[in-house]
């Protein structure tokens, strides 16, 4: 029987096993720039392993996703975290799984979340996740991740498609 995964609201608590939610909501700030700006300082930290540094890129997703949909793979970056921050206030989908062992995601624990458009995510190094899934295209995201030498992307192909469904 084909596995079905329900999309759930993204919160710091339910996403904690996979990384951090990047959001002003629920976080402390201090004023800077003569009290014209609230600084939500160091909401997440970047993990960088090996000979590398943090880079900031823009990913433009040019294909939108319609719910329900099916996925056939996950990827992970073993040597660095990867943060996705929506630049246009757009909602997006996050699909993640914990590791079953050193080389395989636990597909029975697959989770799907929806960002409200004010939230970004930071996948911890080694977190199995699906590539970017947007509901609108084009959609731009600021991405902070490891830039460096060596292998840093593992891909796991599923034995069969998994259906992602839910109310947005």
The CA distances from residue 98 to 15, 58, 108, 110, in Å, are 11, 26, 9, 7
DSSP state of 126: T
Burial of 52-66, coded b for 16+ CB within 10 Å and e otherwise, reads: bebeeeeeebeeebe
> What are 114's two structure tokens?
């929806």
Instruction: List the domains of the chain with CATH numbers.
Output: 4-165 (2.60.120.480)
pLDDT confidence of 33, banded at 50, 70, 90? very high
Q: What is the mean predicted confidence (pLDDT) over 41-54?
A: 95
**What pLDDT score was predicted for residue 2?**
84
Work out whether strand 4-9 and strand 111-114 pair parallel, antiparallel, or are unpaired. parallel
Q: What is the mean predicted confidence (pLDDT) over 19-26?
A: 96
> What are 159's two structure tokens?
């034995």
Extract the runs of DSSP E, i.e. beta strands, from 28-115: 30-32, 37-39, 52-61, 69-76, 82-86, 92-97, 111-114
**What pLDDT score was predicted for residue 168?**
82
**β-sheet with 139-148: strand ranges across:** 19-22, 120-123, 82-86, 139-148, 52-61
Q: What is the mean predicted confidence (pLDDT) over 43-51?
A: 94
Query: 50-100, pLDDT tens digit by residue?
Result: 999 999 999 999 999 999 999 999 999 999 999 999 999 999 999 999 999
Measured distance CA(32)–CA(41) in Å, rounded: 11
**What pLDDT score was predicted for residue 38?**
95
Per the prediction, the chain carries an average pLDDT of 96
**What pLDDT score was predicted for residue 1?**
72
Measured distance CA(16)–CA(58) in Å, rounded: 25
Q: Is the pLDDT of residue 156 over 80?
A: yes
């Amino acid at each position: 029987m084909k596995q079905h995964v329900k999309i759930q609201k993204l919160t710091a608590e339910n996403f904690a096993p996979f990384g951090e939610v990047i959001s002003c909501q629920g976080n402390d700030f201090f004023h800077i720039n003569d009290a014209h700006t609230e600084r939500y300082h160091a909401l997440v930290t970047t993990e960088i392993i090996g000979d590398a540094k943090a880079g900031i890129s823009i990913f433009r997703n040019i294909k939108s996703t319609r719910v329900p949909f099916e996925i056939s793979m996950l990827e992970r970056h073993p040597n660095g975290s990867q943060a996705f921050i929506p630049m246009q206030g757009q909602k997006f989908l996050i699909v993640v799984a914990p590791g079953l062992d050193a080389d395989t995601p636990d597909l029975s624990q697959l989770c799907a979340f929806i960002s409200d458009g004010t939230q970004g995510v930071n996948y911890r190094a080694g977190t199995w996740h699906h590539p970017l899934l947007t509901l609108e295209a084009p959609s731009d995201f600021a991405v902070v991740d490891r830039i460096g030498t060596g292998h840093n992307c593992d891909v796991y192909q599923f034995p069969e498609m998994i259906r992602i469904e839910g109310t947005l």
